[in-house]
């Protein structure tokens, strides 16, 4: 009897626009009450957006404004500083 291999879920990185495994990406979430924050656990409720661990992707994300378009609201600076800290920790 063959064992089934689980398919890893993939998500789109908003910086480089490539599909990558979900567990390698950093999640940014907009909670139901409208607060935007980092979700390092991947368990917070709300609408999520993903970015890979590349500083180039972070620069593109800031420059393009895709994150604010995704969430249809302005992104606080704390989110970008948190992303930079998360990328430095990796």
Q: Name which of 25, 64, 76, 65 is nearest 48 in CA terms.
A: 25
Instruction: Kindly report the pTM of this predicted structure.
Output: 0.87
Quick one: which of 28, 79, 84 has its CA closest to 54? Answer: 84
- List, for residues 54-90, the tens digit of each pLDDT value: 899 999 999 999 999 999 999 999 999 999 998 887 7
pLDDT digits (tens, 9 = 90+) for 1-55: 677 888 889 999 999 999 999 999 999 999 999 999 999 888 999 999 999 988 9
Check if the beta carbon of residue 13 is closer than 8 Å to that of residue 52. yes
Residue with tokens 């689980």: 6
Q: H-helix or E-strand containing 77?
A: helix 77-89
């Amino acid at each position: 009897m063959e064992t089934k291999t689980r398919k890893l879920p993939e998500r789109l990185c908003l910086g480089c626009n490539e599909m990558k495994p979900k567990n390698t990406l950093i999640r940014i979430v907009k909670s139901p009450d409208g607060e935007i924050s980092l979700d390092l656990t991947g368990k917070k409720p709300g609408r999520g957006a993903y970015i890979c661990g590349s500083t180039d992707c972070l620069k593109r994300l800031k420059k393009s404004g895709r994150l604010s378009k995704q969430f249809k609201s302005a992104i606080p600076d704390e989110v970008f500083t948190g992303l930079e800290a998360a990328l430095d920790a990796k």
